[in-house]
Structure 1
Amino acid sequence: MKSLNLPPFEYKVKKQNGQIWIFDIIRKRYVVLTPEEWVRQHFIHFLIESKGYPARLIAVEKEIQVCGMKRRFDLVCYDRQAVPYLIVECKAPSVVLSQAVFDQAFQYNLSIAARFVAITNGCLHFCGEISGDGKFQMLAEIPNFCG
């Protein structure tokens, strides 16, 4: 897999039925290792090990309703009161982080209402904060957990 602009982490992989699987510490099971999953697993460990997010407050690939349609977010981190704090949309390293990717994350956030919205392809990461009046401001980095 491609080297990413995220800290390395210890991971467990296995090969089964001609596919490589990686252990997801949040879902507590092996999942197929795709380029997007490689980014998602790196970002999970980055949030936990570098930014202080408790693993028990992170949800991975849960179904939500967006404008009456079923969708799945990549990551949502909750604060200690179970309020969505950060939503993250992960893409494969080959995917350009365009306005369309941000729009997708914002659309998912309509039903989540997290304070922070981030997108990453493992090489680049962008994050911003949504203020109480709905204004969005880009941040220099992913916020530390303080919920």
Structure 2
Amino acid sequence: MRSQATGHFPQVRFSDARKWLYNPILKKRFANRPEERVRLQYVEFLLHQTTVSPNRIGFEAPVKTESAENTLRADLVIYDRDMAPYVLIECKSGRIKLNAKTAEQTARYNRTLQADFLMITNGTDDFWYQCDGQKISPLQNHPFDLKPQETEPVNPTDYWIKRGFVDTSLTEPITESAGKFLNSVFAPPEPADITYLNLPEDISTFSLDHFYRIYKSDTGDSLALSLIADSSNQTVLSAVLNQDGQNRGVLWVPLAKIFSTASPEAIRLTPGGRSVIQFPEVARSLMTAPSRSNIKKLVNHLINLFD
């Protein structure tokens, strides 16, 4: 099934010129690794959409193997109200395709733990199983009780700041506009259209690695779009063009300039080289009045900037 964590983002903290992942339950920071991102994304789902108490979410739970010398650690264990293992969750990188082998690994962990349910996730797909003695049966949905949800939840601006999309140095009007823009960009998605991109470090002194929303154009090209904050207290609009499965261009422009400068300059990097271009006024106006339809129009204008 499509992962329940889609559209949830881990909290981040900036320190020592690095972006760290922040665990809101353990109150600790961790290195920004793919498996940790997936794990904390699922924690966000549990905290925001289910009735699971934070006190019943366990991390790195030790699991004895058949070999007495070895102890493995489960990524997540959800306990019931009697603090007995209820769900065992294993988190894999989004680059790993889930299959029977990864499911077998989780089942081995559970021989000792004896949880009622098993799940493996790569942040894109969740595979659920129910355990009854030695019998393991696939499930089509998770076993958690959900909180009442609005049809289309709107995240407050502080949500996007804590997750590294917007920095704290922006003025309040720009911050509010950024929040509205992100709520439109990351509205409940179609399958597989949110991803974390790792871009080459030598592209810019500003790190462009983050979660992006992927949009398909009428021509078949794709554009990844996001706002990204970094440790330098700056936020940029970043767009990555993909053609025929290959990233063919990157464009970025400081968010503060978009909202405060008449003709802001953007940096464009393509196979033809690096250049400075004008960010069009029509794109500025679409950003200041975000909606699903305006975001799609913005995407088309940004794709044209790569011609």
Category of TM-score, reference length = shorter chain: 0.7 to 0.9
Bigger Rg over Cα: 2
**Inter-CA distance 23–136: structure 2 relative to 1 (3 Å threshold):** same
**Is the Cα contact below 8 Å between 1:19 and 1:32 reproduced in 2?**
no
**Whole-angstrom CA distance in 2 between matches of 1:11 and 1:75:** 17
Partners of 2:106 and 2:18 in 1: how far apart? 29
Equivalents in 2 of 1:128, 1:115: separation in Å?
9
Paired residue type of 2:39: R
Give deviations 1:102-126, integer Å, cap 9, x for gaps: 0111111111100000000000101
Query: What is the rounded CA distance, in whole Å, between the counterparts of 1:7 and 1:53 in structure 2?
Result: 19
What is the SS of the residue equivalent to 1:62? strand
Aligned to 1:96: 97
Say whether the 8 Å CA contact 2:9–2:40 is kept in structure 1: no
How far does residue 37 in structure 1 lie from its aligned partner after superposition? 0.6
Superposed displacement of residue 5, structure 1: 5.5
Match of 2:125 in 1: 124
C-alpha separation in 2, matches of 1:96 and 1:10:
21
Task: Check conservation: 1:52, 1:145, Cα contact below 8 A.
Answer: yes
Q: How many residues of Structure 1 are paired with residues of Structure 2 in the alignment?
A: 141
Work out the CA distance in 1 between the residues paired with 2:103 and 2:138: 12
* Aligned counterparts, 1:57-96, within 5 A: 57-67=56-66, 68=68, 69-96=70-97
Asked whether the 8 Å contact 1:127–1:141 carries over to 2, the reply is yes
Contact 1:76-1:87 at 8 Å conserved across structures: yes
Q: Secondary structure at the match of 2:21?
A: strand
After superposition, the C-alpha distances for 1:57-115 in whole angstroms (9 at most, x for unaligned) are: 01011222111211111000000101100000000000111111101111111111000
Normalised by the size of structure 2, how large is the TM-score?
Answer: 0.43
Answering whether residue 46 of structure 2 is matched by residue 47 of structure 1, we say yes
Deviation at 1:10, TM superposition (A): 6.3
User: For residues 94 and 33 of structure 1, do their structure 2 counterparts lie closer, same or farther at Cα, with a shift above 3 Å needed?
Assistant: same
Within the alignment, does 1:24 sit opposite 2:23 as a pair?
A: yes
Gaps of 5+ in 2: 147-307
Displaced runs of 4+ in structure 1, greater than 3 A?
none
- Change in Cα spacing, 1:5 to 1:57, as seen in structure 2 (3 Å) is closer
- Report the identity percentage: 28
- The answer to whether structure 1 residue 33 and structure 2 residue 35 are counterparts is no
1:108 aligns with 2:120: no
Partner of 2:13: 13
**Residues 39 and 93 of structure 1 are in contact (CA less than 8 Å); yes or no, is this contact kept in structure 2?**
yes
